[in-house]
Amino acid sequence: MTDELTRLDRAHHLHPFTDFKALGEEGSRIIVHAEGVYIHDSEGRRLLDAMAGLWCVNLGYGREELITAATEQLRELPYYNNFFKSTHAPAVKLAAKLSEIAPAHMNHVFFTGSGSEANDTMLRMARRYWALKGKPEKQWIIARENAYHGSTVAGMSLGGMAPMHEQGGPLVPGITHVRQPYWFGEGRFGEGPLNDAADPSAQAFGRDCAAAIEARILELGEDKVAAFIAEPVQGAGGAIIPPESYWPAVKAVLAKYDILLVVDEVICGFGRLGAWFGSMHYDLAPDLMPIAKGLSSGYLPIGGVLVGDRVADTLIEEGGEFFHGFTYSGHPVCAAVALKNLEILQDERVIERVREDLGPYLASRWATLAEHPIVGEARSLGLIGALELVADKAGRARFDKSLAAGNLCRDICIERGLVMRSVGDTMIISPPLVITHAQIDAMVDLARDALDETARRLSLQIAHGADNRAGNVSETQERHI
Ligand SMILES: *Cc1c(COP(=O)(O)O)cnc(C)c1O
């Protein structure tokens, strides 16, 4: 069965974010079933899924209540749309529930099928808002380098991933990127760790990054800028937690000018940071919040944009018809599952547990990995975390790119039964929010073993020098999102 699937996969299936040819040569890992925080492959191996699929399976795998919600809704009404003055209970109830859990000034939602579609939607809404306000020249969106906002044309234009920009352009006009608050990667080397209160340099760096937004606003002209978009913590960019100084400084800049704040909550929403939304953790008051992923714990595809009163009131009162929507906007089965997912998060106090128990516990265990000889920084917030692999701890020097240390470490993790992702030489985790203390211990132990083995193989390769190294370059920099 595995061989047949592998053959058909190679023959017919173009995977997302994949070097088709390289994968054809290597073959893919086939996942057959899953429960809790574990996935099982067709070779009969069990892996601890420290990525919750793609940052989305917040309640873990195999939740009967979600399965029941889907099957009951499929029987009742498998599909109807929300166009032309019709709707159905699942979409309405989900909209009301989202308004209940969102920040107080956000009381409307526009549904989409994915996070990318949510970002396309917010782009149209932000520009439409300003047009309705009599300022149609307010068009520019300021986004950030190394951000991820999806893979549609608008999503990838808003994102700041250079390899994506190089393919399939030209990009959507009127989008510009400023520097990211990535202290370990772009701060001044040799200075203290992130958010070390005794070391002011990371905090100064955070303020510098916020100042870059102000500089860009002044360069473009306040009357030309529609919105600033950012993830509270960058996910696909490498689980980048900004210095504590960053968001308050960004808030101050945006308050000074009349510019909408768009907070992309596709990863940070629904409990990842120990609050319903990353915006609540950082005390932001966004005008628009794209959501997806954890909204349904990934069981079915659904996304949306939560809309603040300022924008919603204008679109409703002055907008007339908004010529935008998707066949599956507010799909009844997806909405029913999302609603049940939110009810479980609420009833089981999952988010409170992330904030008060699991997040702090992970932080204490994860921090022990910072002592490892090839780890330059171990950071986490709520249930998102990263390790920075380095050749030299003191100088924060990276391994030679040709060693592809991150990919090597990821493959070793998988050999050992752990799904941990690599973004360059940054290792990232984002486990289901239902992970237990014992499973966190197991995850950290597996990660430590994998780091030992990575260090061992890297030192062998370095010792063997350039000849052997050449054989290792085949792996192109993969960017799984
Ligand atoms: C995954 C992601 C998206 C895109 O969502 P899709 O459902 O894959 O289209 C957008 N923004 C962020 C922050 C994401 O992580």
List average pLDDT for each run of 10 residues in the chain, which is 481 residues long: 91 95 91 98 97 98 98 98 96 98 98 98 98 98 98 98 93 98 82 66 93 98 98 98 96 96 98 98 98 98 98 97 97 98 98 98 98 97 98 90 97 98 98 98 98 97 70 45 46
pLDDT of residue 478: 47
**Alpha carbons 115 and 117: distance in angstroms, whole number:** 5
CA of 157 to the centre of ligand 1 (A): 13
Q: From the CB of 110, is ligand 1 less than 6 Å away?
A: no
* Distant-in-sequence, close-in-space partners of 118: CB < 8 Å, separation ≥ 6: 112, 150, 266, 290, 291, 292, 303, 304, 305
* Distant-in-sequence, close-in-space partners of 67: CB < 8 Å, separation ≥ 6: 299
pLDDT of residue 197: 60
Q: From the CB of 177, is ligand 1 less than 6 Å away?
A: no
- The encoded tokens of residue 225 equal 């800028």
Whether the bond into 170 is cis, omega within 30 of 0: yes
160, 328 contact by CB (below 8 A): no
Q: From the CB of 36, is ligand 1 less than 6 Å away?
A: no
CA of 112 to the centre of ligand 1 (A): 12
Ligand 1 atom with the shortest distance to the CA of 264: 13
CA of 115 to the centre of ligand 1 (A): 4
pLDDT of residue 472: 47
The distance between the two most distant Cα atoms of the chain, rounded to a whole number of Å, is 70
pLDDT of residue 465: 79
Per-domain residue ranges of the chain: 2-62+350-468, 64-347
| From the candidate CATH numbers 3.40.640.10, 3.30.420.40, 3.40.50.720, 3.30.70.360, the one assigned to the domain spanning 64-347 | 3.40.640.10
pLDDT in tens, 352-408: 999 999 999 999 999 999 999 999 999 999 999 999 999 998 888 999 999 999 999
CA of 137 to the centre of ligand 1 (A): 28
* Distant-in-sequence, close-in-space partners of 229: CB < 8 Å, separation ≥ 6: 119, 122, 141, 142, 143, 144, 147, 149, 158, 262, 263, 264
Residue nearest to atom 6 of ligand 1 (CA): 115
Q: From the CB of 236, is ligand 1 less than 6 Å away?
A: yes
Q: From the CB of 292, is ligand 1 less than 6 Å away?
A: yes
Q: From the CB of 148, is ligand 1 less than 6 Å away?
A: yes
Helix (H, G, I), strand (E, B) or coil at 142: strand
CA of 265 to the centre of ligand 1 (A): 9
Domain at 2-62+350-468, CATH homologous superfamily: Aspartate Aminotransferase, domain 1 (3.90.1150.10)
Q: From the CB of 90, is ligand 1 less than 6 Å away?
A: no
Q: Which residues of 378-401 are buried (b: 16+ CB within 10 A; e: fewer)?
A: bbbbbbbbbbbbbbebeebebbee
pLDDT of residue 187: 86
Ligand 1 atom with the shortest distance to the CA of 268: 13
105, 309 contact by CB (below 8 A): yes
Helix (H, G, I), strand (E, B) or coil at 418: strand
CA of 148 to the centre of ligand 1 (A): 7
Ligand 1 atom with the shortest distance to the CA of 152: 9
pLDDT of residue 338: 99
* Distant-in-sequence, close-in-space partners of 261: CB < 8 Å, separation ≥ 6: 227, 228, 254, 284, 285, 286, 287, 288
Residue 4 Rama label (left phi>0; alpha psi -120 to 50; beta): alpha
Ligand 1 atom with the shortest distance to the CA of 119: 10
* Distant-in-sequence, close-in-space partners of 416: CB < 8 Å, separation ≥ 6: 446, 449, 450, 453
Ligand 1 atom with the shortest distance to the CA of 303: 7
Name which of 73, 71, 102 is nearest 312 in CA terms: 102
**Alpha carbons 309 and 392: distance in angstroms, whole number:** 50
Q: From the CB of 329, is ligand 1 less than 6 Å away?
A: no
Q: From the CB of 120, is ligand 1 less than 6 Å away?
A: no
pLDDT in tens, 433-476: 999 999 999 999 999 999 999 999 999 999 987 555 455 444 44
Q: From the CB of 233, is ligand 1 less than 6 Å away?
A: no
Q: From the CB of 359, is ligand 1 less than 6 Å away?
A: no
Q: From the CB of 159, is ligand 1 less than 6 Å away?
A: no
- The encoded tokens of residue 4 equal 């047949």
The stretches of 160-266 forming alpha helices (DSSP H) are: 162-165, 183-186, 201-220, 246-256
pLDDT of residue 259: 97
Mean pLDDT for the chain? 94
